[in-house]
Amino acid sequence: MKKFVFLLLSAVLFLTPFSVSAQNERQVIREGSRESMKIALTFDDGPHPYRTDDVLRLLEQYGIRATFFVIGENVSYYPEPFKRTVAAGHEIGNHTYHHKLLSETCEKTIEEEIRKTDDIIFRTAGYRPKIFRPPEGAYSDCALKAAKSMDYSVILWTVDTRDWEKPPVQVIVDNVMKNVKGGSILLFHDYMHKNAQTLEALEILIPKLLEKGYEFVTVSELIA
Ligand SMILES: [Zn+2]
């Protein structure tokens, strides 16, 4: 029996080399208060040379502010759409420099990934982000510790639209309408390969959500 328990433990440790303690897990935010009608649109992986502007135009049309979790490397490639995002009053979050999967490493690179992104965001637009989203929502105690040491709040999401899988527009719309509730953080992408239908889905979703009484706020406003 002892041997069995030992083998089982070894297997668990082997499968999850960098675990997350319950205490650190509480640091991860997935939603705001369910008692309000506030929700937050979030866009990951940008800036993109033109898709970011497409999203900005749509948001401006409705006077909505959203949150963009940017990749540092993309900010260095496409500083102009990034500056326009900041100038339009949207919130910016840190999404690492190379979109590195943080659950598989416990090295100093995590801190470097976050700090380098912080630096380019500040150098490009004079902006200091307060929120961090680990790529693919994958993290370890090390990643959470690094984020905390830099005063970052760690933000995941309530509803994953899976827009990057390029589902039909109606699938994205139905997924959101079925799962959204007050306090929801909705995950979209403004950087993706062609044929993703994020924008088309948003064109339908935004008026629908407004009609239901939802109010769009930034992530920091949602969790304040
Ligand atoms: Zn991402």
Q: Which of 44, 45, 53, 118 is catalytic?
A: 44
| pLDDT > 90 in the chain, percent | 81
Residue 212 has pLDDT above 80, yes or no: yes
Residue 190 a catalytic site member: no
Q: Which amino acid is at 161?
A: T
Check residue 4 and give its pLDDT.
Answer: 54
CA dihedral 164, 169, 173, 175 (to 10 degrees): -50
pLDDT on residue 204? 98
Mean pLDDT for 51-75 is 98
In this prediction, residue 12 has a pLDDT band, given cuts at 50, 70 and 90, of very low
Residues 201/163, Cβ–Cβ less than 8 Å: yes
| Averaged pLDDT for residues 50-71 | 98
pLDDT at residue number 203: 98
Residue extents of the structural domains in the chain = 22-223
Residue with tokens 């306090």: 183
- How far is residue 114's CA from residue 36's CA, in Å, rounded to a whole number? 31
To the query of whether residue 99 is one of the catalytic residues in this protein, the response is no
C-alpha to C-alpha distance for 221 and 130, rounded to whole angstroms: 12
What's the mean per-residue pLDDT of the chain? 92
| Residues 52 and 81: beta-carbon distance below 8 Å | yes
State residue 13's pLDDT score.
47
**48: CA distance to ligand 1 center in Å?**
13
Model pLDDT, residue 17: 54
Q: What is the pLDDT of residue 194?
A: 74
| Interval 124-133 mean pLDDT | 98
φ/ψ (deg, to 5) at 91 = -85, 145
Catalytic residue among 118, 163, 189, 190: 189
Question: Using CA atoms, how far apart are residues 27 and 148, in angstroms rounded to an integer?
Answer: 9
CATH 3.40.50.2300 fits 22-223, yes or no: no
**Ligand 1 centroid – CA 3 distance (Å):** 41
Q: What is the pLDDT of residues 14-41, one digit of tens each?
A: 455 567 888 888 899 999 999 999 999 9
Read off the tokens for 79. 């500083």
CB-CB contact of 42 with 93 (8 Å): yes
The predicted model scores a pTM of 0.91
Distance 219 CA to ligand 1 centre (A): 16
Classify 185 as helix, strand or coil: strand
- Please list the residues that pair with 94 across neighbouring strands: 70, 132
Q: How far is the CA of 168 from the centre of ligand 1 (A)?
A: 20
